[in-house]
Structure 1
Amino acid sequence: MKKMNKTRGIVYAILSLVIIACLGGIVLFGLPNWKWLGAYKDSGKAANITQGLDLKGGVSVTYQVSDDNPKWDATDLSDTVYKMQQRVNQFSTEATAYKEGDDRITVDIPGANDADEVVERLGKPGSLYFCTKSSTDLTEEQLAETDENGNKKYVQLTDGNYAGYYQIWLTGDDIADAQGQQSSDSKTKKSEAVVSLTFTDAGSTKFYNMTSQYVGQPTYIIYDNEVISNPTVQSAISGGQAQIDGMADMDEANNLASNIRIGTLNLSLDEISHKVVSAQLGSDALSKSIKAGIIGFIIIILFLLLVYRIAGVAASLALVVFVELEMLTLNAFDLTLSLPGIAGIILGIGMAVDANVIINARIREEIAAGKTVKSAITIGFDKAKSAIVDGNITTLIAALVLLWRGSGTVQGFAQTLAISIVFQLFTSLFVSKWFVWILYYLGFQGEKFYGKEKTRKAIHFLKKRVVFFALSIIVIIGGFATMIGYSAAGKDPFFLSVEFKGGSSVTVDFDKEYTMDQFNDEIKPALVDTLGTSDIQGQKETGSNKFVIKTKKLEGDEFDAFEKLLIEKFGAVDSKDNFQNTMISATVSKEMRSDAVWATIIATICMLIYIWIRFKDIKFASAAVIALIHDVLVVIGFYAVSRVAVGTTFIACLLTIVGYSINATIVIFDRIRENKASMKRGDDLEELVDLSITQTLTRTIYSNVTTFIMVFMIFIMGVTSIKEFTLPLMVGLVCGAYSSVCITGAVWFVLTKKFGKKKAN
């Protein structure tokens, strides 16, 4: 910043504030209708961000197993549910598919408001085959033949120009991926729309066998007993890659790729109903959360201004830019925002505040050490960089693994977290630094504008490490004991919600209109008292007085009490056609849970490897993972003891704790590494660890307090479901602060004393 002076500082300040104001204007009000810029009216507006079923609602479509399936069982239905989940992911990572009754599948797609359009885009679920046409008619016995995997060998089409018999070479299960792309024709050099195919290993072999025998002849892609494409084989194709050309445009290419990508469903399905449903949390949920978030954000800004003065101004402006970029990106990429997504943003804000706290604390330390303010700013940012970068990269690794291996709401969480990490790295290391220098050259050059970090004697945390370890072990054992106690009593160790356990879905028609907020404020509390469970979810069918109420499995007297309450107290229609009670499966499928577990395990291993490489010491990595597991086990124990419902937000909550825990650990380890590098022979290692923890104690307190404030405001102002989500988060934040101060350094010290290299005197 040597080229900056006061005049330039004024110019830069004005330009920067104008840019911030413009970005804020777009977030609040959207862009004008500038067609030349490719922008339409209100584009970029935060209010236009796609919201999940919990915040805004969407479309619900129900399918029934077709009569065309003479033999099928529960396994076929379960497999079809899983494949339908992959299909609806084209709409949103927050879309869900689940079993309803014995022969139905329901899919819920957030953010949509036109059921007919969704049904048209979703299409009729069917089977996908890559075929060649048979030159002779086939007998019924031949049509019934299957291969060693139970797949059909032949298919017959009876309608249209393609009526006849076809040999099946590949099914949708043999396709690893299909994408619509623009490709340049090698002869004409013109761009054309194509579908790029990637086959599985088995599919690659099958595709080569087909294409090598049918060079110059047409092949047929049959979806739901209809030929959707008939490309001609140009040559024998090996290597697992192929292209389908001849597309009219990218829309046609994308639609064909979408159908191919879905794969083969085990069962044929018929759509029997579709409807638009309201937000699960009611219309007030989002507005209250936004108000709470704004209040919490303002408190954080005031806190930064009060504590860090001029540097706090720079940090506050950087935070504003961070939030603006986050909102614009969610809008630009049409990402779906739900409670798990909000968790990712909260974690991002917490890490952004943390980064600025680290930077400003470093600046104050350098001023206290006798450096000039100008030198302190340069050195402070430089010394803070390693802790910020390492903490963010470890969390980004986790987010990327979750995006790759996770599914459903886990991906929604990972998307917002990954975006948050990228932007907060940019704003804390560059935008914040930019504003600090602008303010410096505007005349704020005295020490009084920045403050000095007080020199503190090392607090002897490690002397009480046995007490801390014992306390943690007692808390963790208490959680496990609670789970064992519930299991021994014949109950679930956790209070599993409908999303995890399944239950009843009852369609209720009322004789007057209730809003979702009225349902949550009036009807739901009465149902909680009657049924003895807080796990009750309601969704209003738009344009009617009907509600779909999901809760635990209702039978016998419980269902009678449920029906009586709604009829007598809330005016539900008393008729035999009302109160349709259907058993539903968990919306969080076994596959989704398995994906989340494996993603977390892989992410933890990757983070361990990164920390090992960066710190050149496996003991740092081991201690970090131990602290991470500690925090997760404490929060899991809290779920067991408090009986807070375990639903889709449970996974997001644990992942948030993982991200925050590893970030806090990195900060302390970075200081231990720095102090250890200047450690002299004969220096006490225990004293060094205590000093490192003490030096970062202010950062630990400030970062956790500011993040806690944000979550606490959402807790006290939110609806019941949001309270159930934010309460464990607050427990995790408190636990993370405790473990970073009392457990992390102590574990590293114990491992170092036990397994460290012995040096000769």
Structure 2
Amino acid sequence: MLYFSRWKTLLIWGLVVLAVFMALPNAFSDEQLDSMPSWVPRNKVTLGLDLQGGSHIMLKLERQDIVKERLETVVGEIRQTLRDAGIRYTGLSGVGQQVQVRITDQEKLQAAVEALNPLIEPVSVGGLTGGTVTEATLEQPGDGLLRLSLTDAGIDYRVSSAVSQSMEVVRRRVDELGTTEPLIQRQGEDRIIVQVPGLTDPQRLKDLLNQTAKLTFHMVDTSMPANEALNNRPPPQSQILYSTDDPAVPYLVERNALISGENLVDAQAVFDQRSNEPVVSFRFDSRGSQRFAQATQQNVGRPFAIVLDDQVISAPVIREPIIGGSGQISGNFTLEGANDLAVLLRAGALPATLTVVEERTVGPGLGQDSINAGVTASIIGAIAVVIFMLVFYGTFGVLANIALAANIAMIVAGLSLIGSTLTLPGIAGIVLTMGMAVDSNVLIYERIREEVRGGRKLVEAIDIGFKKAFATIFDANLTTLIAAVVLFFLGSGPVRGFAVTLSIGIVTTLFTAYTLTFWLMAFWYRWKRPQGLPTSIRTGYFDNRNIPFMAVRKLSFGAAIAVSIAAVVGFATVGMNLGIDFKGGSIIEVKARQGAADLSDIRDRLSGLNLGEVQAQGFGDESSALIRLQAQDGGENAEQSALSKVRGELEADYDFRRVEVVGPAVSNDLTYSATLGVIAALVGILIYIWFRFEWQFALGAIIATLHDVIFTLGLFVLTGIEFNLTSIAAILTIIGYSLNDTVVVYDRMRENLRRYKKMPLDVMIDASINQTLSRTVLTAGSTILALGALYLFGGEVIASFTFAMLAGVLIGTFSSIYIAGPVLIAFNLRPEAFQAEAEKVPATTGA
């Protein structure tokens, strides 16, 4: 009893010391760590973009580009195949995903089919599992017509390959910028996420990523002037392309490229020795050098066009054969423009267009402000919780605070070890964990007090109190963990960071509350040899209150139903103030370079840009403003165009501190995943409660939780607070917290059901709630202190998140008493099966 072997003591404190050692590097700069011995760990928590600044961009590969290119390729292959086979045809064309051709000589129809069969043969997809995919099917409708259809599976294979190729091209382009530790990863079937910490010029990054960078060299068609070709039809072998000049100059160029950028091996920004202007020097491989030399030898005196993504960069005249395999591209470049073009050419061309569908950019200044606000809020919250525990528990509060400090160190160590990214919501997760860690200690301490009041000696009370409390602590924390896991798998960005932090915090809380606190309690008892509880414990105020909660259950239940109906009606009629995560659009936070932000001037200047509804409001201090643009008609490209217009209008007078742009494709996906996340979390939690308790308990938990969700949604409707991704995180956390509360009360009810088999149900529920009242009040109080510090000092960015959490704590506490209890009475708890189980349990089980 209260005995810890030496090896167990060493193991417990070894883990704590190791956690502190692993977390310690976060207190030093990289330069300081480099000067330390090699055995000192180097792993640190990676700061998210919202804390250190940088850009998060989601790119979508345009599937239609792949289909179009594949269709043109198949048309060309059919043309070449039939010509090589000497088979005459007519009407060769491609539309959608189908190509059709009519064979004029019916006797050669079968020969044509056999010649085209290689186009429909399965293609090996490679990989570890092998396998093949059929890219096209061939049909014969009759009358000499052959129809070749591109399969969806074949297009999917091409898209997947193009995404993989695009990731490598994107990686090379971003690496050329010289940024530190960029993150480039695939998301879904056709999207790529690019995160570049510390980037101060997101527009330059988007310009680099938006260009396909297909470089080709074409001869200029001099058979007629370009303007004449514009007014009439250009020759079939030529096309009109425009230059990058302003105004653009048309050029008539031959369709067939002399050579393409695939043969480039190097490109560098240099200064022209004659004009001293920035140009791009390029060099071909051996094959490209040979083809370029041959083309220039045959066309001396003629102009040729250097074309990038269907735009003519320059069109110099070939004065003499270029046989060295190298040359220069000039086009009135700036030094940065020449360097960016060289980066594009070195990195290679993208197989298809990449469209920016989501952008989240945070300036380094705002990132530092967020760090300061988060650290300040965390310190204030921690101090408040520490004082709270000391006031109510005295000596036991000291033990709890030691365990809390170890808990925070273990969270930081865990984040450092797995290389997790700490975001502003992640800091909120740490602050919330502090409140939940206190809950575990309160459960244990109140159990010990209860055992002492029941007549047990202190040493026995400590031992039994820990054992009884652990099952409740485990159940309560596991429900929150389920919500956190769902958040991780279905969330994105900062929401995932919150889920990771909360998950690690739950695991460390179980360790520190049950193992470390138990050891500290045992050490204190062996040291002091007390005869009773410390007199510094001040929670006796809640003892023997015998508040008749169930006496007003009809009134409280009726009021809850009325509020819930009002919330549902408001949700259906008024609706919520949906953020850009769910309806698309842009949010731009700006700070005046001088003086205060002039909101009316911002509105007036932006209203003339034809961007639809524009809102501008104060944000934080008087020099800052938050601008909201509605979702633009025209898709993702229109969103980026709107952002460019705003930058052009305001950049001279304002610093752009934060930019969030969400296109319609992403907003639809986020809405779907958020809805699925809430449903999945509820189902997972309720299945667990059904498994651990009786069906009436599960039903009561369902109704109480739905009440909390509906109330929270109604709060968003009533206050008009923006509902965004972090709001989903708040709702899921409220679900976990509310169920945590409900499970604690239900656990005591189940215990009393076994002990008092003939007690009226409403009296038993009242007794259970009163017995856990001190824990309920103290846990809510400590959590409110932690969240209150975050709300007051954590900054505007997460103010709505913490406000929802604060309201959720209050309503969760209400529902665990006034909703979860009456439901058990309404559905007549104590079925025969449970009574049979209760008969087997000795009456001395609970206290």
2:747 corresponding residue in structure 1? 670
| Contact 1:9–1:439, Cα closer than 8 Å, also in 2 | no
How far is the alpha carbon of 1:340 from its aligned partner?
3.6
1:434 corresponding residue in structure 2? 519
Alignment of 1:618-633 (within 5 A): 618-633=695-710
How far is the alpha carbon of 1:384 from its aligned partner?
0.3
| Contact 1:402–1:410, Cα closer than 8 Å, also in 2 | yes
| Contact 1:537–1:551, Cα closer than 8 Å, also in 2 | no
CA distance in 1, matches of 2:834, 2:56: 65
| Contact 1:27–1:324, Cα closer than 8 Å, also in 2 | no
CA distance in 2, matches of 1:261, 1:168: 28
- CA deviations 1:25-79 (Å, max 9, x no partner) are 4443379446754833xx33xxx432133x332225587988993988xxxxxxx
Tell me the TM-score normalized by structure 1. 0.64
Any idea what SS the aligned residue of 2:576 has? coil
Structure with bigger gyration radius:
2
How far is the alpha carbon of 1:607 from its aligned partner?
1.7
Q: What is the aligned counterpart of 2:401 among 309, 316, 333?
A: 316
1:601 corresponding residue in structure 2? 679
Matched, 1:269 2:271: no
| Contact 1:12–1:438, Cα closer than 8 Å, also in 2 | no
Q: 1:320 to 1:65 in 2, by over 3 A?
A: closer
CA distance in 1, matches of 2:788, 2:698: 31
CA distance in 1, matches of 2:704, 2:645: 51
How far is the alpha carbon of 1:15 from its aligned partner?
7.9
How far is the alpha carbon of 1:223 from its aligned partner?
3.9
| Contact 1:499–1:586, Cα closer than 8 Å, also in 2 | no
1:722 corresponding residue in structure 2? 798
| Contact 1:310–1:439, Cα closer than 8 Å, also in 2 | no
How far is the alpha carbon of 1:377 from its aligned partner?
0.9
Any idea what SS the aligned residue of 1:59 has? strand
Any idea what SS the aligned residue of 2:47 has? coil
CA distance in 1, matches of 2:39, 2:99: 51
Consecutive unaligned residues of structure 2, counting only runs of 5 or more, are 84-88, 101-117, 136-156, 167-181, 193-349, 608-612, 634-642, 837-847
Tell me the TM-score normalized by structure 2. 0.58
- CA deviations 1:612-631 (Å, max 9, x no partner) are 1212x111111111111111
- CA deviations 1:341-374 (Å, max 9, x no partner) are 3343344332211111101111111122222221
Q: Tell me: higher relative CO, structure 1 or 2? Use CA pairs within 8 A at least 6 residues apart.
A: 1
| Contact 2:429–2:501, Cα closer than 8 Å, also in 1 | yes
CA distance in 2, matches of 1:677, 1:643: 47
CA distance in 1, matches of 2:774, 2:746: 15
2:726 corresponding residue in structure 1? 649
2:47 corresponding residue in structure 1? 50
Higher alpha-carbon deviation: 11-20 or 726-735 = 11-20
2:550 corresponding residue in structure 1? 462
CA distance in 1, matches of 2:164, 2:583: 38
Amino acid across the alignment from 1:269: T
1:235 corresponding residue in structure 2? none
- CA deviations 1:324-350 (Å, max 9, x no partner) are 111122222222333443343344332
Amino acid across the alignment from 1:647: N
| Contact 1:535–1:552, Cα closer than 8 Å, also in 2 | no
| Contact 2:429–2:498, Cα closer than 8 Å, also in 1 | yes
Amino acid across the alignment from 1:459: I
CA distance in 1, matches of 2:381, 2:163: 56
How far is the alpha carbon of 1:135 from its aligned partner?
14
Q: 1:457 to 1:37 in 2, by over 3 A?
A: same
- CA deviations 1:636-681 (Å, max 9, x no partner) are 000000000112211111111111011111000000011111113x
How far is the alpha carbon of 1:513 from its aligned partner?
4.6
How many residues were matched structurally?
588
| Contact 2:588–2:626, Cα closer than 8 Å, also in 1 | yes
1:291 corresponding residue in structure 2? 376
CA distance in 1, matches of 2:603, 2:422: 28
CA distance in 2, matches of 1:222, 1:67: 10
How far is the alpha carbon of 1:692 from its aligned partner?
0.2
Q: 1:754 to 1:725 in 2, by over 3 A?
A: same
Q: What is the aligned counterpart of 1:378 among 433, 456, 463?
A: 463
| Contact 1:280–1:537, Cα closer than 8 Å, also in 2 | no
2:814 corresponding residue in structure 1? 738
| Contact 1:49–1:335, Cα closer than 8 Å, also in 2 | yes
How far is the alpha carbon of 1:398 from its aligned partner?
2.8
How far is the alpha carbon of 1:459 from its aligned partner?
1.6
CA distance in 2, matches of 1:437, 1:146: 81
% identity of equivalent residues: 28
| Contact 1:505–1:583, Cα closer than 8 Å, also in 2 | yes
2:669 corresponding residue in structure 1? 591
CA distance in 2, matches of 1:696, 1:352: 17
Any idea what SS the aligned residue of 1:447 has? coil
- CA deviations 1:402-435 (Å, max 9, x no partner) are 4344445543333222222111111111111121
Q: 1:753 to 1:503 in 2, by over 3 A?
A: same
1:91 corresponding residue in structure 2? none
| Contact 1:350–1:707, Cα closer than 8 Å, also in 2 | yes
CA distance in 2, matches of 1:434, 1:549: 54
How far is the alpha carbon of 1:259 from its aligned partner?
7.2
| Contact 2:727–2:800, Cα closer than 8 Å, also in 1 | no
| Contact 1:396–1:421, Cα closer than 8 Å, also in 2 | yes
Q: What is the aligned counterpart of 2:786 among 701, 710, 718?
A: 710
1:184 corresponding residue in structure 2? none
CA distance in 2, matches of 1:470, 1:225: 56
2:578 corresponding residue in structure 1? 496
CA distance in 2, matches of 1:148, 1:528: 44
How far is the alpha carbon of 1:735 from its aligned partner?
0.6
Any idea what SS the aligned residue of 2:759 has? coil
Matched, 1:572 2:647: no
